[in-house]
Amino acid sequence: MTSDTRTLELPDASIAYDVRTPAGASEHPPLLLIGQPMTASGFDALAPQLDDRVVVTYDPRGLGRSERRDDSAAHDPAQQASDLHALIQELGMGPVDIFGSSSGGAVAGLALVTAHPEDVHVLVAHEAPLTSILPDAEHAAAAFRGVEEQYQAQGFGAGMAAFIGMTSWRGEFNKAYTAQEFPHPAQYGMPTEDDGSRDDPLMSGVSRSVTALEPDIAALIAAPTRIVVGVGTESGDVLTGRSAAALADMLDTELVEFRGGHGGFMADEWGQPGDPATFAAQLRDALED
């Protein structure tokens, strides 16, 4: 498999993306691996396992290697869908398959299918963190705001510890959740000193529209795209597992299990040691069923 990095030039952004091409001809549609705020590097362990097809990864605008010139810091699923549509047109190989995860990639995939259903053959939406469709939607949104407030008050380490605690909470967000203290950063190996920065894309509030997206269920059902809703075997009753189950129910489709948790496709260096080879085999099955 060969790999090269390219740039998609848009009027208000420069989008960096990578194209991995198999040694021989492939009978499969190209596969886009998309995340947000995770960039292409988060798929470095998974992509080589999918060596029977063209695999494309990219950095969303304003993240990693991709620049933005739109005078905004917000990460909006509709904007990301527009960028993905332009990227698919640039590739000239659509419709494509998409694996969206970590975490807004799944949300962006849903937004893309809603806006441009002709672009996507199969979408595997892995643990989309859609608080809007949960029975405890108001409390889940408040839990996210609590993380943002902790980050603004005490910085990265404290904010990330609060985020891990929130995303690890099992069951609905209730009085027991709000009554507890935020975990100490050292509990998760996070820095205890505040470096003064407040621009983290996960905790600064710029990605709030990702978790707040209200999916257009009628448009998703009407689309020619086959939508696979994925969940990790370890994620059943945490926020992303619950939102995946709710989405599958709304789409009247089966919930497909994948190895591990939210980062089951990642390598050890990301702090969420997964099994990329096993995950790749499961992803192939999901794409080809």
What is the end-to-end Cα distance of the chain in Å, rounded? 25
Query: Are 180 and 235 in the same domain?
Result: no
Q: Which DSSP letter does residue 29 get?
A: P
- Name the percent of the chain lying above pLDDT 70: 98
Residues 6+ apart with CB under 8 A from 232: 126, 127, 240, 241, 257, 258, 259, 260, 261, 262, 264
Per-residue pLDDT tens digits for 110-168? 999 999 999 999 999 999 999 999 999 999 999 999 999 999 999 999 999 999 999 99
Query: Are 252 and 217 in the same domain?
Result: yes
Per-residue pLDDT tens digits for 15-31? 999 999 998 868 899 99
| pLDDT at residue 264 in the model | 92
| pLDDT at residue 236 in the model | 85
Query: Are 169 and 122 in the same domain?
Result: no
| pLDDT at residue 26 in the model | 82
Query: Are 123 and 243 in the same domain?
Result: yes
Query: Are 43 and 123 in the same domain?
Result: yes
Q: Work out how many domains the chain is built from and give that number.
A: 2
Give the mean model confidence (pLDDT) for residues 72-87: 97
Q: Residue 276's domain spans which residues?
A: 2-130+213-288
Last residue of a domain, one of 212, 242, 270: 212
Query: Are 77 and 175 in the same domain?
Result: no
Closest CA to 185 of 206, 157, 144: 157
Q: Is the pLDDT of residue 271 over 70?
A: no
**Do residues 236 and 261 lie in contact, with contact meaning Cβ atoms separated by under 8 Å?**
no
Residues 6+ apart with CB under 8 A from 32: 55, 56, 57, 58, 84, 87, 88, 96, 97, 98, 99
Last residue of a domain, one of 195, 212, 229: 212
SS3 116: coil
CA distance 186 to 231: 29
Mean per-residue pLDDT of the chain: 95
User: What is the pTM assigned to this prediction?
Assistant: 0.95
Q: How far is CA 134 from the centre of its chain?
A: 18
Query: Are 110 and 20 in the same domain?
Result: yes
